[in-house]
Amino acid sequence: MYKLEEIARRTQVLRRGQRVLDLGAAPGSWTLYAAEQVGPKGHVLAIDLNELQISPATNIEIRQGDAREADDLGTFDVVLSDMAPKTSGQRAADQYRSYELVMTALAIAKRTLVPGGSLVAKIFQGPEFEDARSAFRACFGKVRILRPKAVRDESYEVFLVGLNFRPEEGS
């Protein structure tokens, strides 16, 4: 939660009344924080392959499953992705799988974000990082790279934050 709290403070990505999609939501701390920030008139849809360790609140909906297979997600102001691969200890393989997850989050965001919306996605820095950043730049008016203070010193995770979503013409 501390990572998202810092990201939200630095980017103003979460505001009252917003609809938020939380991908890879387990155990649930990001979901709870997002729900608190959007308030009772907002809504958070939390999706994960694993069971969340939180109770649903009036503005939280929980689904266990694969977001890539859900056709009925709706539209959102913000998509959050704290998804990370199960690490293998092989840095290059872990970085590539992290890149794949970010690209999955971006594909879901392109399908569900309203114009002007935002995407926050964790990525392990590696050879594909610039490709991911370029893909974000093609879809968002502003792209930031943030490394919250709560990230361990030895970690190579950062967050790509896309602000002001620009839907592609005709999509």
Give the predicted TM-score (pTM) of the model. 0.94
Tokens found for residue 68:
């890539």
Residues contacting residue 3 through CB under 8 Å, at least 6 positions apart: 82, 148, 150, 151, 159
Asked whether the predicted pLDDT for residue 171 surpasses 50, the reply is no
Q: Residue 152: CB partners within 8 Å, gap ≥ 6?
A: none
pLDDT attached to residue 86: 86
Which tens digit of pLDDT belongs to each residue from 13-48?
999 999 999 999 999 999 999 999 999 999 999 999
What is the distance between the alpha carbons of residues 118 and 162, in angstroms, rounded to a whole number?
A: 5
Residue, of 170 and 117, whose pLDDT is higher: 117
- Active-site residue set: 122
Q: What percent of the chain has pLDDT over 70?
A: 98
